[in-house]
Amino acid sequence: MTAASPTATSDPATLRKVVAASMIGTTIEWYDFFLYGTAAALVFNKLFFPQADALTGTMLAFGTYALGFVARPLGGIVFGHYGDRIGRKKLLMLSLMLMGGATVLIGLLPTYDQIGIAAPLLLIVLRLVQGFAVGGEWGGAVLIVSEHGDAARRGFWTSWPQAGVAAGNLLAAGVLALMTALMSEADFLAWGWRVPFLLSVVLIGVGWWVRTTVEESPVFRELRDSNTVPRAPVMEAIRTRPGGLAVGAGLRVAENISYYVITTFSITYLTTTVGASRQMALNAILAGAAVQSVAIVAWAALSDRIGRKPVYAIGAAGTMLWAFAFFRLLDTGATPSVMLAVIVGLVFHAAMYGPQAAFISELFPTRIRYSAASLAYQGTSIVAGSLAPIIAVALLKQYGSATPVAIYVAIAGAISLAAALIARETKGKSFAEIDAGH
């Protein structure tokens, strides 16, 4: 095989196929991951923690939800290590199978009333498998696209797998909303909630078929053919790029926290505090996710023109300010206001999430890129996204007001704004330039 030049790009047809395969696979995997979060907000408190009061049961359900995030850095490290050593594609296939298998098994789980404490324990094990799998998914999906594409439009191309994350949430919320609309609450709790989880077996087949058509990234092929693959890429990343890891983690804080407050905690807040219907809450998430899918690509394309830093800063600053308006609008309980709150919140989130894949991947050289990008991205999830719904529910329970939750989100926004301003601008740089600079 002839080695590819680090500055070479795939032909347009190949690049489009890679982008499509990455987005479809990402949509499927994050459908599985987000399905759990939405179900935790709606039914898991009743089915797996029935002895607790409403808010405490929800906190326990979100606790199992958080464990998926705890496993993500381990998945990022393991998948990153082998992704930097044997290639991006093989690890993407493995992550798809692990995630899909765990999701189907969740749909088959007996409840607390059927097998007692074993039910939540099995739920925890399967959630850990989900977290491990999705920990390796993100790095592989965005890197195989970024390393096939051209430097001038890297933000645009890598935003499609990012949009797949929003599409996965849209699909998860849509399926649950459909099930909710078609059946009584009793039937939904009895068996209806299982259907979206079992549907994952179909999605696994689609994702596997699509991803088998993808070629390995030309940048990685050259690295492999040059016999310069690192023996311990994770340790090399920690030793040589601590600043890049810190910046990447800082970029993630507001993006991760705000997303799960908007898409997961808000469902609990609307249904238990405001008194809104479950259907209205899910419809708001649906509308927001639909708009966000488009906004992610638009903001990323803008970052190719004016830079990653200014676009990311807009998202972080907007998140800081909107956090306070967000809960005021939710408190009205009016459908238009709730829709506005969620949509605008997710548009500001998209300003961070759109350019994020390119921004973080450009912080590191090819030889450690999968490991370093995954570590920066997934490591933050332990203290950000995993805890966000739990902290939000605890603040609400302690103070009886959403204002402390808004302050919490605003502080996260300030951290990511600082990281965006500290980071070096990377737009337009080829991976050859980035590798030479390291």
Residue 68 clears pLDDT 80, i.e. is over it: no
Lowest mean pLDDT among 9-18, 200-209, 367-376: 9-18
Q: How far apart are CA 433 and CA 46, in angstroms?
A: 54
**pLDDT score recorded for residue 227:** 67
Choose between 104 and 386: higher pLDDT: 104
**pLDDT score recorded for residue 53:** 60
Q: How far apart are CA 205 and CA 357, in angstroms?
A: 26
For residues 202-217, give the mean pLDDT: 76
Choose between 69 and 280: higher pLDDT: 280
**pLDDT score recorded for residue 438:** 54
Residue 404 clears pLDDT 90, i.e. is over it: yes
Lowest mean pLDDT among 140-149, 273-282, 324-333, 342-351: 140-149
- Please, what are the domains in the chain? 12-436 (1.20.1250.20)
At residue 9 the predicted structure's pLDDT band, cuts being 50, 70 and 90, is low
**pLDDT score recorded for residue 6:** 43
Residue 407 clears pLDDT 50, i.e. is over it: yes
Choose between 397 and 206: higher pLDDT: 397
Percent of the chain with pLDDT over 70: 93
**pLDDT score recorded for residue 33:** 74
**pLDDT score recorded for residue 302:** 98
**pLDDT score recorded for residue 245:** 94
Choose between 65 and 276: higher pLDDT: 276
For residues 397-409, give the mean pLDDT: 95
At residue 143 the predicted structure's pLDDT band, cuts being 50, 70 and 90, is confident
Choose between 51 and 199: higher pLDDT: 199
Q: Which amino acid is at 29?
A: E
At residue 3 the predicted structure's pLDDT band, cuts being 50, 70 and 90, is very low
Choose between 133 and 231: higher pLDDT: 133
For residues 159-172, give the mean pLDDT: 86
Residue 63 clears pLDDT 60, i.e. is over it: yes
pLDDT in tens, 228-280: 667 788 889 899 999 999 999 999 999 999 999 998 899 889 998 999 988 89
Q: What is the mean pLDDT of the chain?
A: 85
pLDDT in tens, 354-398: 999 999 999 998 888 888 888 898 888 888 887 898 899 999 999
Residue 282 clears pLDDT 50, i.e. is over it: yes
Lowest mean pLDDT among 63-67, 186-190, 269-273: 63-67
